[in-house]
Structure 1
């Protein structure tokens, strides 16, 4: 297998002009929580119907280049019996898969977390590939408090992310690395910037140590924002602080930076991405989106668990994806909402 050629083709598809990535990879507890916010029960049929609705939205391939799924979805079918990964390919959307197994306590730390899931990862990837997945995602989290994250948590998480990325690339798949600095708390932007810079610096040192090919990695970082308890900054302030950190930490070899939307409203996430693409100065990477809630919240609200609302839900998805596609080009305006 020509792993380099395969990864290169996947990267080209994922980074193609005006498109971004949808994260629809919520684990059972997370999807249950998100759906129940809209009064929807998280049954297997509801999850199948919902994720098939996303993948089969007419025209969505114009704005979405890849969808990250939870492993259950790879084996599920659309209403007409097509496997969901195949339905994605029909719209030139690359099917992807979340491969980490969630957070566990990091022994010896001050209550910090590390992500698990490296055991048997290679074998699992072989199975996911056979089901059509061409890229993967692994998420680490860093909580900000007075004393955290500590060096131990930064280094343990970076090591795990780098080992994951190396295993994924050995299978000819493209790894998304997600070092998420959480928005929970009352820290200011400067503190978020400091922690984000430390997390990414440690991560890229580990990726190099593990001989990960940077040209076939996608970074999924948080934006630099103050904690949830503080007033929201302008999109321009967010863009400036975020790009300052990225320029210090992310090598130009990395093809794409696809932001997560954690803790932001749908409109805020779009406006912040737009401001980054409008800002002057060097930007050697594609700056795009890999949103979960900021793309899906309006869709779930429109669907409401009722099959009759499928078209309304798909229209809500199309609208948000189109607005984020414009933001990826720096052509979004709030008046378009």
Structure 2
């Protein structure tokens, strides 16, 4: 993403509130009406969120669009066909014992409606392993007019009816990904648009029985220090929770999918897992209410081992939420390269998925060691300007 100029974030944003002991005159006091959202779904939403945020388990994200799935398949010499996409996702979702480490899996719409070659629905395969089916509901990023060459996420039109259909098909949680770019400022407009879109999506999802994963990804692109990432993350999450509250979203029935607070991918100094944990947990404790049941981190282009080490460091202390993972590439990279599209590698690829899932399960419990990890698992996967 090219940026026309560096726009300094306005730290006097409305999300940075100042409180005093002075009271407004009664005539000026806004009347706050308490609204209970999500109707008859509320108890189920809370139950689902707690199930996904269960000890030692996290989320496997396999919600790549068909175009992105094609890039993954091309890396091992396979054509981007529905048959090949189905075969790869069958490999993942039929891995025996996966539910011991994975509590939920985010699917692309195509996958939600697919079955195995034996005719068993993927959602039923997941239920058999006590894995909650989830669904990607956003329609992708498009340019944001009036911004510093930034993006906004589309997909609110028709979301209610689509969500109702996804619920009928077996989905019980949803994912909406928008992004914030530090090299692009970010502009106050882009931050507000990201926060408002996430809040509207979350409210619509809850009204249709789906636990919303709230994901404003702060991209790794840039050469900024970790302090700058912290500054932006704090402002973004303040704005997000401001609008979640405005939309009467039930906090106990959501999950978060934040980026870890790290230096920009092109920064001259890499941060240790302990430093990443310190800055990330500081941001979360300042911005995220303890009512939120789960923090499911994205990997954002980190290597498999790096993402796991950072998660493990965050679980060395007590946290008010379940701190876990929602990884795509950081769970799939070795799996894909082991499989190579060959039937004879099917079981070996499933074994490699279990190894990665177990490693992150241990990290969620604060018990992971990188001893014995392969060189492949240590390779970074950051791609500048990466698009899904």
TM-score range, shorter chain: over 0.9
Matched, 1:311 2:347: yes
Match of 1:116 in 2: 154
Cα shift at 1:52: 1.3
Match of 2:189 in 1: 152
**Please, what TM-score do these two structures have when normalized by structure 2?**
0.84
Q: In 2, are the aligned partners of 1:225 and 1:233 still within 8 Å (CA)?
A: yes
Q: In 2, are the aligned partners of 1:6 and 1:173 still within 8 Å (CA)?
A: no
Whole-Å Cα distance in 1 between the matches of residues 347 and 301 of structure 2? Answer: 27
Secondary structure of 1:335's partner? coil
Cα shift at 1:309: 1.1
**Aligned positions of 1:176-191 closer than 5 A:** 176-191=213-228
Whole-Å Cα distance in 2 between the matches of residues 215 and 12 of structure 1? Answer: 9
After superposition, the C-alpha distances for 1:126-170 in whole angstroms (9 at most, x for unaligned) are 11111110000000101111x511111111110010000000000
Q: CA RMSD in A?
A: 1.1
Q: In 2, are the aligned partners of 1:258 and 1:288 still within 8 Å (CA)?
A: yes
Matched, 1:107 2:153: no
Larger radius of gyration: 2
Match of 1:287 in 2: 323
Whole-Å Cα distance in 2 between the matches of residues 240 and 35 of structure 1? Answer: 37
Cα shift at 1:232: 2.2
Cα shift at 1:223: 0.2
**197, 210, 224: which one aligns with 2:247:** 210
Whole-Å Cα distance in 1 between the matches of residues 289 and 370 of structure 2? Answer: 32
Match of 1:332 in 2: 368
- Runs of 4+ in structure 1 off by over 6 angstroms are none
Match of 1:298 in 2: 334
Q: In 2, are the aligned partners of 1:228 and 1:263 still within 8 Å (CA)?
A: no
Cα shift at 1:9: 2.0
Secondary structure of 2:315's partner? helix
Which has the larger helix fraction?
A: 1
Secondary structure of 1:109's partner? coil
**65, 71, 79: which one aligns with 1:33:** 71
Secondary structure of 2:274's partner? helix
Secondary structure of 2:105's partner? strand
Whole-Å Cα distance in 1 between the matches of residues 278 and 77 of structure 2? Answer: 38
Match of 2:273 in 1: 235
Whole-Å Cα distance in 2 between the matches of residues 336 and 9 of structure 1? Answer: 37
Cα shift at 1:313: 0.7
Unpaired stretches in structure 2, ≥5 consecutive residues: 1-38, 374-388
**211, 220, 225: which one aligns with 2:257:** 220
Q: In 1, are the aligned partners of 2:54 and 2:322 still within 8 Å (CA)?
A: no
Matched, 1:268 2:303: no
**228, 231, 238: which one aligns with 1:194:** 231
Whole-Å Cα distance in 2 between the matches of residues 180 and 36 of structure 1? Answer: 26
After superposition, the C-alpha distances for 1:17-63 in whole angstroms (9 at most, x for unaligned) are 21000110001121111222232322101110111111110000000
Match of 1:137 in 2: 175
Match of 1:97 in 2: 135
Q: In 2, are the aligned partners of 1:189 and 1:224 still within 8 Å (CA)?
A: yes
Whole-Å Cα distance in 1 between the matches of residues 168 and 95 of structure 2? Answer: 24
**347, 352, 356: which one aligns with 1:320:** 356
**Aligned positions of 1:164-179 closer than 5 A:** 164-179=201-216
Whole-Å Cα distance in 2 between the matches of residues 121 and 253 of structure 1? Answer: 26
